[in-house]
Structures are given as structure tokens and as C-alpha cells.
Structure 1
Amino acid sequence: MEPISVITAVHHPLRRRIIDHLVLHDATQVGTLAHALDAQVGSISHHLRMLQKAGVVEQADDPTGDRRTSWWRLARRKFSWSEADFSSPADALLAREAQRANVRHQLELLQRWHRVSRDSEIEGFATDTLSWATPDELRDLGQRLNALLDEWRADIDRSDGQDRLPVFFFAHGFPTEV
């Protein structure tokens, strides 16, 4: 279970964009983050401190050795929680809103893709299925998908000289009525 402070820190819109940037680019200088995210350096620094306080990011050594610049990297990449994890009604409400914010973020990325997909050289994909599962079987599916994604990411050699674009993958598994 994630502490509510981590959940609320991660699901602020600009902080989510900072995390996404660090996932793709690893350690990054504050000015570079500000430029890439079209935000002020002071704003980025503030949000990095909020993420640091929640244990999501940490300061990194400047690869050039210049100690006048501030570099940051992710301290962790995965977050998991359920509204049911929280006995406090206020925390459960915050966790539920963070879940909604996460779904909105995912759908915004999907909608953006559909707006530009005709002009892309890379073809995306969609997948879905319907089946029967116990709660344990559904949990197992989620763990297997996460393991597969971790293995897939680890197999990508970003130093091989090939051009790559950022790729976003999301899937949801949940009980439903037919």
C-alpha cells in the first residue's frame, strides 16, 4: 500500500509529466525539464521537492561534474494502491481521485495518439479480452503483465543507434457485467 502522500504527489498533473520525462530520459537537469515541459524553472524545482519529499525522485550527480546545476532522477518507477487500502474516508477519497486522475491521463494520451496517428510512421495497437477470473487470478494477470513489461523494457538497447520514440502502454483488468 502506498502512503497517501505518495499517491497525491504523483498525481499532480505537472508532477506526472516530470515523472514521465524522467522515466524516458533518466537523470535530467532542472533547466532541461523546464524547457521540455514548457514550465518555469522555479515551478519545476518546487514540484521536484514535493516529489522528493514523497520519495519519488532524488538528486543525481551532474554527469559533467559541474556542481552549479541541479540534476534529478527517479527514486522509484512503480506505484500501486487501491481505494480499499485506506480506512480513513478522507484518504480513500484522495486515493479514488488519484485513480480517476490516472485514468484521465491515460485517456488523454490515447486521444492525443488518435489525433496524430495518421501522420505517424509507427503503428500502435489495441487489445482487449473478456474472460472469467477469481480475484487471485486477476491479481496474477496483473503481476504477469508487469513482469513482461519489465522484461521487454530491459531488452531495449538504447545505445544501438536506432531511432526510437516514446511509447505508452496501458491496460486495465477489472470485474465487469456483461
Structure 2
Amino acid sequence: MEQIETITAIHHPVRRRIFEYLYLHGASQVGTLARALEQQVGSISHHLRMLERADIVERTDAPDGDKRASWWAAKRVSFTWSLDDFADSPADALLAREAERANIATQLRRLQEWKKSGSRFPDWDGFSTDTLTWATPDELAGLSAALGATLDAWKQSINTEDGQQRRPVFVFAHGFPTQL
């Protein structure tokens, strides 16, 4: 179970972008992050400290050994939690619901941006998939685990040393009970 401090830290829009940049690009300087994310250095430094307190990022040595530069790296690769994890604390449950809303808003914004991009990525085909079926709570949890394992295996199968040009790819899926 994730701590509520971790969940609220990662679901701040700027902090999420910082984490994702570090996850995709590896360790980076504060100035590099500020330029890439079009933010002020002071703002990036503040958000990095918040992420560090939540154990999401960590300070790291500069590749060239320069002690004057502030370098940071992602410490985690994923976050998994459920609103049910916070049922015993109304305050934490409220924060978790707000983080969930922020997460869904981010996912939908990214989908909308992809759809609006049109011909900006002519060689790229996105995909959409959905299904409707009957399942128990355990069967839905099994699907979640299987999808997670499939995504992990897919990420590990990518050979980033083959010289091909790659772009960041965002994949998300939701499974939940519904009514007809």
C-alpha cells in the first residue's frame, strides 16, 4: 500500500511531469528539468524536495563528478494503490480521491492531445481497446495483474540500444464494474 504522502506528492501536475521526465531520461540536473518542463529553477527545486520527502526521487552524483551541480534521479518505477486502502481515514480517503481525479484527468488530457495531434506523428498508430464481460472481484484483480505483467514484459523487451528512434509512449487501461 502506498502512503498518502506519496500519492499526493506524485499527483501534483508539475511533480508528475518531473518524475516522468526522470523516469524516461534518467538522472538530470535541475536546470535541464526546468528548461525541458518550461518551469523556473526555483519551482523545480521545490518540487524535487517534495518528491524526495515522499521517497520518489533521490539526489545523485553528477556523471562528471562536478559537486556544484544538483542532479536528481527517479527512485521508483510505478505506483499502485486503491481508494479502499484509505477507507479507515476520511481525510486520507479524500486526498486519495482527489489524487485519483487528477490521475484520470491526466490520462484523458493525454488521450485528447494525441487525438488532436493528427498528422504530427504520421508513422504512429495509437490503439484503443475495450470489452464488456462478467467477472468477480478476484477475476478483475487477476486481469489487473496480468495486464501489469504484460506491460512490464513489453517494456523489458524493448532494445533501446538498437539505434532506432523512439518517442515516449503512454499506455493506460481501466477496468471497473458497471451497470447497463
Find runs of 4+ consecutive structure 1 residues off by over 6 angstroms: none
What's the RMSD between the two structures over aligned residues?
1.0
Shift of 1:83: 1.6
Give the aligned partner of residue 72 of structure 1.
72
Cα distance between partner residues in 2 of 1:10 and 1:149? 21
Within 5 Å, give how 1:1-178 maps onto structure 2.
Answer: 1-86=1-86, 87-120=88-121, 121-178=123-180
Cα distance between partner residues in 2 of 1:171 and 1:126? 9
Identity of matched residues, % = 60
Cα distance between partner residues in 2 of 1:132 and 1:55? 39
Q: Structure 2 counterpart of 1:98, which letter?
A: A
Cα distance between partner residues in 2 of 1:35 and 1:112? 21
Cα distance between partner residues in 2 of 1:52 and 1:79? 15
Cα distance between partner residues in 2 of 1:131 and 1:23? 35
SS in structure 1 of the partner of residue 80 of structure 2: coil
Of the structure 1 ranges 73-82 and 91-100, higher mean CA displacement relative to structure 2 is found in: 73-82
CA offsets per residue over residues 37-89 of structure 1, 9 Å max, x none? 00011110110010000011111221122121111111112112222211111
TM-score, normalised to structure 2, is 0.95
Q: Structure 2 counterpart of 1:45, which letter?
A: S
Shift of 1:118: 2.7
Cα distance between partner residues in 2 of 1:63 and 1:159? 20
* Structure 1 gap ranges (5+): none
CA offsets per residue over residues 101-157 of structure 1, 9 Å max, x none? 000000000000011033312111111111111111111111111111111111112
SS in structure 2 of the partner of residue 176 of structure 1: coil
Cα distance between partner residues in 1 of 2:176 and 2:5? 25
